[in-house]
Amino acid sequence: MCDTDHMLNFIEPFAGGGSVGLSLLMSGNIKELYLNDKDYGIYSLFQVIKTDPFPLLELIDNFVPSKEEYRKAQTIVNRKYVGCDLLAAAWNLLITNRLSFSGIVKANCMSDPAARWTPKTLRKRILDIHSYSSHIHLSNQDACEFIEEMYWMPHATLFIDPPYYEKGKQLYSEYYTEEEHEKLAFLLENLYKGFPGTDIILTYDDNPYIRNLYQYPTVEVVERKYSIVTHLA
């Protein structure tokens, strides 16, 4: 259970899959989880799971994965979900995530579209998350605006995992420009140095440009290797 007041509330301005916060919530290490993502599809997927996952589960049960279905869904995602309600946005994001290489919506479809389409596993995961709905709080804001609002929350930790600097444009629908990376760094430095607030954990790909932006915090390098395929050979 929670062994420090600072972990009662866990805040993710760049939620993505929300794996860190959800793991902490489900293991009893935090009480409340705040997930924000500017990507409307990510927000929609969590919102549908939180409020009413059963129409989504029905779509999952009846879906036959194929490259054609992947291309249709990817087109909708690339067009920023124009005309989609919450369920449609959530559904098309889920298709592209599960049928693509490494779960990256900008990647090509896997050679076997059914390889990562596991309805039973998806159903269990969705229902597990739904069971914690009263402890999950969602928003669809600009990350910097969200951080400014949430920084003052008592007994909280901000877990900030921005888009990668080097490969961001290849990986994310809502990637960051250099100007946006600099804006985030400026905001965090001013909050951290100027005002007492939440604890901050910041994760990034290790790059000289990023290290130059963040010269004040303690840095710990975590050695990880990833293999990401964005195009078919």
Q: H or E segment at 156? A: strand 156-160
**Over the stretch 86-124, which tens digit does the pLDDT of each residue have?**
999 999 999 999 999 877 887 889 999 999 999 999 999
β-pair type (136-139, 9-12): unpaired
CATH code for the domain in which residue 160 is found:
3.40.50.150
Q: Which of 108, 132, 156 is the last residue of a domain?
A: 132
d(CA 72, CA 67): 9
Residue 16: how many other CB atoms lie within 10 Å: 16
pTM for this structure? 0.89
Same domain, 155 and 166: yes
DSSP 116-142: T--HHHHHHHHHHHHTTGGGEEEE---
**Over the stretch 146-183, which tens digit does the pLDDT of each residue have?**
999 999 999 999 999 998 887 656 666 667 889 999 99
pLDDT exceeds 60 at position 225: no
Same domain, 29 and 54: no
Question: Domain range spanning residue 199?
Answer: 1-38+141-233
DSSP 52-80: --HHHHHHHHH----HHHHHHHHHHHHTT
pLDDT class of 18 with cuts at 50, 70, 90: very high
Residue 62: how many other CB atoms lie within 10 Å: 8
Q: Which of 114, 132, 150 is the last residue of a domain?
A: 132
